Structure 1
Amino acid sequence: MEFRKAGWRTRLKRAALAADSWLDASLWGAARRAGELYERLRSQTDRLTVTGGKRLAAEFASEGLNIGIVGALFVLMLALPAFRIGNEEALKSQVLAVTFLDRYGNPIGHRGARHDDSLKLEEMPDHLLKAVLATEDRRFYDHFGIDVIGTFRALSVNARASGVVQGGSSLTQQLAKNLFLTNERSLDRKIKEAFLALWLEYRLSKNEILKLYLDRAYMGGGTFGVAAAAEYYFGKSVKDVSLAEAAMLAGLFKAPTKYAPHVNLPAARARAIDVLNAMVDAGFMTAGQVDSAKRNPATPVDRKRDSSPDYYLDWAFDQVKELAEEGKLGPDRVLTVKTPHDGAIQQRADEVVEQVLRQHGPAYRVKQAATVVMDPDGAVRAIVGGRDYGASQFNRATASQRQPGSSFKPYVYAAALSAGLYRPNTIVTDRPVCIGNWCPNNYGRSYAGSMPLYVALAKSINTIPVQMSIAIGRAAGETHEARAALLGRKKIIATARAMGLTTPLTDTVSLPIGAAEVTVIDQAAGYGVFANGGKRAKPYAAIDILNSQGELIYNHGRDEPEPQQVLSTQVVQDMNFMLSKVPTEGTGRRAALDGIVGAGKSGTTNGYKDAWYVGYTGNLVQAVWFGNDDSAETANLTGGSLPAQTFKEIMQFAHQGLELKPIPGVSADPKAATVAKAGAGTPDPLGGGAAGAGRMPRQSFEVLSSVGSLFKSVEPSRSATRPIQVGIRDIAGGETRLR
């Protein structure tokens, strides 16, 4: 046994020594071979060693490669957002071709493609193409999408002029903006525009880009593309336009509203002369060839009385596209849509918004406004999406999301009343209240003590909605104050959603006093619930839709479900009673209508960035917003000043000739007439102008208008209106800001 045990150990030691020897030999051999390889590599690289100027060049090349790689990665990072935007669908013509009619059956505009109107580039006059290229992009066929030479030239001219005199964007860049981007002036947009221009140049030929540009550019008067513009301004096909007419059309690309001949013919002709001179400077024509066009300028068709509700049409077209995508319109894509649009209210709204901004915008440092007027059931009568559609097609009434301030409070009150916690005469106390370290303040940073609930709403007390959110949560069984407020806010959000707010409502402690963001059209829809007795008032633009054969394929009343009852009758009556006090006793005194019972709520946000007035009668609902696109602070603009005054001017006009309907739960003013006071002006046979003596109610005319084309030739007369008188400041009366 001892011998066997000793032999086993010996063999193990020998095996271990052998393994160690093999490992040592392998490592030594690998090290020796690595050293030999290193020596060979060093010998080879020594042959490549350079000195002096060659070494300096090599160093620069090496650093350049490193910088190039980093730069390429950076450029790729900048390009990704643009490449996500660019898509093939945007290059295709719209499928739908829609003709829109107003509530009386009169055509008000078109949207979408008209396939039978499309022209090949070769069919367009040569002098039109030269006029466009001479003014917009002379080097169009020479650059790769970005005109580097033109850009540096524009920068140099602008620097010498200390302002923007020339634009540096190529025609391809302008097309990229028209197809994919907005008119926002920002570095981000310019970067996206540049990369999208490169994508377009890669994807399309030069002639295809030029054709798309000529077809898609806005040309003023609600027209898009040179073909539609030639028909609108000159009453002829674009194939037949003269050199003078082509120059006037080419001049529209720079500023379609400013140079539209039906708006400012002298400016349009002056711009056309600039275009003709540019054609000579570019070498496209000689001075003798353009001399006749200068001496005989183009004379457009008289369109001074025409107006196109472009913001309304854009929104209505989106509504029709949604119906088509839902399969409600069948396979036909050539449609005629009768809308609830009221041309008289639209014109008055446009005039009031522009007049108020022109007269008082500089003093208040406010540049934009938007408004929506609708029936209590959601039928939209008018939309103002901004003060100048030609300058910006962005619809601030339907797409812009802004904080509502105190105009959000009715949703909070409605939720609290629905929970059975309050009535209009319930005594509430304006006192300090905090959720965590957040404590809301009133406008004057003071507290008013005890008061009835309707007074708190009329005076827009900030602490009461916050107390309501806590009370709603506690009524659901939550005792912890912060968690009760959270639960209460969830119920408030649910109520606001049921009433028509569609934007994301961020749940923050300040939500009850208007910190979430909403749209103007949603605000009108939400308040429409109060006006119609508690039913959801979803905004709509299509009453009837006919296909290309004239067959009725859609009727709103027939094909849409009955509106849902979202608030009880009692809650609606209580809310209407309280909101009717705002224009008579609260922050909305400037919105009080003469001889008409109204209700509503003003709203102002922190820094006076947004100012609102949303109100209604038994007949109509209107939401008004004033502010700046960049959210810049205004000069103490409150909802009780310009928005309230704008509301009154538009609604007073809109009710002329209407048979007044009561607001549910609010007794009519015994002094109010059955028909609203008639304003100065002449009778309007279409029910849209000023109400004169003997004028028929608008509803009666709508019935008569159904007989057909007998009334088509009757043109609304322009009503004389009294000038708007708006105070510069109105912060008395308890207007409350969001804190």
Structure 2
Amino acid sequence: MRRERQPASSGKSSSSGKTPRSGAAALPRWRLWLRRAVRWGLALAFVGAVALAVAVGLAVQRMPSFEALKKSPAGQTVRIHAADGTVFFSLGPNYGRWLTLREVPQVMQDAMVAVEDRRFRYHPGLDPVGMTRAAVFAVRTHGTGRRMQGASTITQQLARNIFLSNSYTWTRKGREMVLALALEWKFSKDELLELYLNKVYFGGGSYGVDAASRRFFGHSATQMSLSEAAVIAGLVKAPSRYSPTADAQAALGRAGVVLETMVDAGFITRSQAAGAEPANVQLAQETGQNSARYFTDWALPQLDMLIDEGNEPLDVYTTIDLGMQRAATAAIQANAPGGVQGALVALDRDGAVRAMVGGTDYVTSNYNRATQAVRQPGSAWKLFVYMAALEAGYKVDDQVVDEPVTINGWSPRNSSGRFAGPMSLRTAFAYSVNTVAAKLGDEIGFSSVANMARRLGITTPINTHPSMVLGSAEVRVIDMTAAFAAVARGGVSVQPYGITRVTTADGRLLYQRPAERGQVLVDHWVAAGITDLLQTAVNTGTGKAAQIGRPVAGKTGTTSSNKDGWFLGFSSGITTGVWMGRDDAKPVGGLQGGRAPARAFADFMRVAVAKRPIEPFDTEVKLPEWQLEEDGEAYFGAPEEDGALVDENGMPIELPALGPPPEEGAAAPPPPPADGPVLNQQWIEEQTGRRPPADPGAAPRAVPQLKAPPAAAPKIIVPLPKTPARPPNGEGDRTG
């Protein structure tokens, strides 16, 4: 039987077919997955790289130019300078002057690079070493609640400051990295460092090294020392925590860390670090004042009328004198009674506002009572009454009669409740006699008084009712002060102003106040005549508390029931107006113009004119020696304090002994014996040189007598009159 052989190839074929399959099965599964992961990883990396390149490329195309990035972002910076050039207040972010990299001292550049990004010159915008360190820190502190350690390069910080916010999100971080790469692609390292040094935030509203240097050291960053550079560089990490004005010790400690970092990075030697001594750095004196905000709130809105609108940083140079401002604030706070507000405006001879206080505390109330509030001026309004009378032909020595008077049913009364009879215009003004002011207004016309007030700068409504002569019309402190300043200027108008010059941050002039000569409002002799009366009121009348040891002219004012107290006056080229009262216009016991307001005026003026030469007035007052003696405190005391009876200006009132009325036709009783020199108006005028001595043999004139006991103030002694009728509205009758 024939046997059929199987092809040998079939067995071989079967055997060889199993061999590769057996080898594949022997390959570990993890290698297969590793190969796949590598392949997918490379693919994803390639796609990511392409996407990143596209994103960076798009960012580069959309990124502004270097010159565009140099411009300040939205939010205008306005720096307010005092009269001496000192910056005492800033609005908005402060960017200082843009400094090129060559202008920034090398120590400042090195300090910033050392402490913020020492590999800045070598990485492409992202620092792998720093990112790795941050990742390790994040793993170690996971779950502890601690914030991830910063790994941002200078370029990343720049991208965040210019284009992004400070929120801690992965999305923001990714955009920050893309923008950092784009910045590195488009700009050189020097350009990036220049941008960073001029835009990084250092606290206190200051952006950039120049703004920070001016803020903390008072000079430009171009003059920065190693010690100052260490302080500034240390602020970036935590501007509020390490601010030298907030915590000097923390700032010094941080500056020491910066110096050590600079040594470690090789920027400075150990000996240079030891010689830096940050503790000896001189910090700029804090010049900001709470009350100065009243001035800036008044002055800055005027910018809209002075310059065209824009967003560029501005430097506004003003008239305010910081020393005077401090003195004004102290004078108001020290003299305003409890629960009473106060306001003060001080003008230089051309209208420059040197000090402005609108209340006792700006934080408590930012309502500016110096420029916004309207209050009755009381007898301070008599300035316009007497000026109108002088212009109409009256002389300061003309005789008038203090007697009961009724005008259109209105019968004014004097603060003392009495009438003194014949007296000079000077005496009537010095002792603020209401009846004489009413008679003058009636004779020259109330419209003439209103016209005089309007001429001298009163902007509020003025009525022509008879009671207006006693200050029933409401006025602003700044307007009344400007009116008195016009008198001090010899009858030439004074327009209060606060801004002298406006420039851009790089010094380009936008506005310069032109020189103004003013307009002649009244003849010089009228201004000289009222100045004569005003200085008499301070030397012998209701304003004695305003004396400061040099010629002063001024006038008190007190309204009905002591709702308002005023003193306005001038000396050595400074005119100051002071008002005190409650915002709700309630009466205040003892608030008379000759007391707290006059004392506040004196406290301020002693400081304001201390460095100015003494300027005599056209008419100099020379008082007898007994009138130059210092008054006791009882002179200004209230009845509840020492029992002395005073009027609303703080002036003493002497009540003569009363006996039975004389029979009709009987001779008048002889005057009481004097316990000191008894002076009449003619004697005063003779002694002060206002009139030649009278014939010794001539009989004395019947005029009101001024009695002056030794070491006491002069007092008007008059008989008690009949009680006059009060005004129908009760306003304007308590003036002084």
- Normalised by the size of structure 1, how large is the TM-score? 0.51
Q: How many angstroms apart in 2 are the aligned matches of 1:372 and 1:643?
A: 12
Conservation of the 8 A alpha-carbon contact between 2:292 and 2:325: no
Conservation of the 8 A alpha-carbon contact between 1:531 and 1:618: no
Q: How many angstroms apart in 2 are the aligned matches of 1:385 and 1:398?
A: 7
Which residues in structure 2 correspond to 1:4-403 (within 5 Å)? 97-111=77-91, 123=165, 306-316=286-296, 318-325=298-305, 334-357=313-336, 361-362=337-338, 366-403=339-376
1:576 to 518, 527, 531: 531
Conservation of the 8 A alpha-carbon contact between 1:222 and 1:308: no
Q: How many angstroms apart in 2 are the aligned matches of 1:446 and 1:725?
A: 22
Match of residue 737 from structure 1: 734
Instruction: State the shift of 1:311 in Å.
Output: 4.6
Q: Cα gap change, 1:313/1:389 in structure 2, threshold over 3 Å: closer, same or farther?
A: closer
1:439 to 403, 411, 414: 411
Instruction: State the shift of 1:122 in Å.
Output: 8.9
Q: How many angstroms apart in 2 are the aligned matches of 1:424 and 1:621?
A: 22
Instruction: State the shift of 1:344 in Å.
Output: 1.1
Which residues in structure 2 correspond to 1:452-601 (within 5 Å)? 452-473=424-445, 488=446, 490-558=447-515, 561-594=516-549, 596-601=550-555
Query: What are the Cα deviations for residues 149-181 of structure 1, in whole angstroms up to 9, with x where unaligned?
Result: xxxxxxxxxxxxxxxxxxxxxxxxxxxxxxxxx
Conservation of the 8 A alpha-carbon contact between 1:432 and 1:463: yes
Match of residue 9 from structure 2: none
Instruction: State the shift of 1:660 in Å.
Output: 2.2
Q: Cα gap change, 1:302/1:445 in structure 2, threshold over 3 Å: closer, same or farther?
A: farther
Q: Cα gap change, 1:615/1:433 in structure 2, threshold over 3 Å: closer, same or farther?
A: same
Letter of the 2:518 partner, please give it: P
Query: What are the Cα deviations for residues 587-640 of structure 1, in whole angstroms up to 9, with x where unaligned?
Result: 01111111x100100011111011011010132111111111111210121010
Conservation of the 8 A alpha-carbon contact between 2:346 and 2:575: yes
Conservation of the 8 A alpha-carbon contact between 1:97 and 1:334: yes
Conservation of the 8 A alpha-carbon contact between 2:572 and 2:613: no
Q: How many angstroms apart in 1 are the aligned matches of 2:240 and 2:246?
A: 16
Q: Cα gap change, 1:121/1:637 in structure 2, threshold over 3 Å: closer, same or farther?
A: farther
Q: Secondary structure of the equivalent of 1:528? A: helix
Q: Cα gap change, 1:436/1:618 in structure 2, threshold over 3 Å: closer, same or farther?
A: same
Instruction: State the shift of 1:318 in Å.
Output: 4.2
Task: Mark the runs of 5 or more structure 1 residues left unpaired by the alignment.
Answer: 1-92, 127-220, 247-259, 266-300, 474-487, 672-723
Instruction: State the shift of 1:428 in Å.
Output: 1.0
Match of residue 398 from structure 2: 426
Q: Cα gap change, 1:725/1:548 in structure 2, threshold over 3 Å: closer, same or farther?
A: farther
Q: Cα gap change, 1:96/1:577 in structure 2, threshold over 3 Å: closer, same or farther?
A: farther
Q: How many angstroms apart in 1 are the aligned matches of 2:616 and 2:499?
A: 26
Q: How many angstroms apart in 2 are the aligned matches of 1:341 and 1:426?
A: 42
Match of residue 415 from structure 1: 388
Conservation of the 8 A alpha-carbon contact between 1:469 and 1:512: yes
Letter of the 1:348 partner, please give it: A
- Normalised by the size of structure 2, how large is the TM-score? 0.51
Task: Mark the runs of 5 or more structure 2 residues left unpaired by the alignment.
Answer: 1-72, 98-159, 169-203, 217-230, 250-280, 625-632, 639-645, 654-732
Instruction: State the shift of 1:503 in Å.
Output: 2.0
Q: CA RMSD in A?
A: 4.4
Match of residue 33 from structure 1: none
Query: What are the Cα deviations for residues 160-203 of structure 1, in whole angstroms up to 9, with x where unaligned?
Result: xxxxxxxxxxxxxxxxxxxxxxxxxxxxxxxxxxxxxxxxxxxx
What is the total number of aligned residue pairs between the two structures?
A: 425
Q: How many angstroms apart in 2 are the aligned matches of 1:403 and 1:222?
A: 42
Q: Cα gap change, 1:666/1:102 in structure 2, threshold over 3 Å: closer, same or farther?
A: farther
Q: How many angstroms apart in 2 are the aligned matches of 1:622 and 1:468?
A: 27
- Larger CA deviation: 546-555 vs 385-394: 546-555
Letter of the 2:385 partner, please give it: V
Instruction: State the shift of 1:115 in Å.
Output: 9.5
Conservation of the 8 A alpha-carbon contact between 2:87 and 2:287: no
Conservation of the 8 A alpha-carbon contact between 1:96 and 1:333: yes
Conservation of the 8 A alpha-carbon contact between 2:290 and 2:361: no
Instruction: State the shift of 1:394 in Å.
Output: 0.9
Conservation of the 8 A alpha-carbon contact between 1:430 and 1:461: yes
- Give 1 or 2 for the bigger CA radius of gyration: 2
**Structure number having the greater helix percentage:** 1
Q: How many angstroms apart in 1 are the aligned matches of 2:477 and 2:414?
A: 24
Instruction: State the shift of 1:434 in Å.
Output: 2.0
Q: Cα gap change, 1:261/1:350 in structure 2, threshold over 3 Å: closer, same or farther?
A: farther
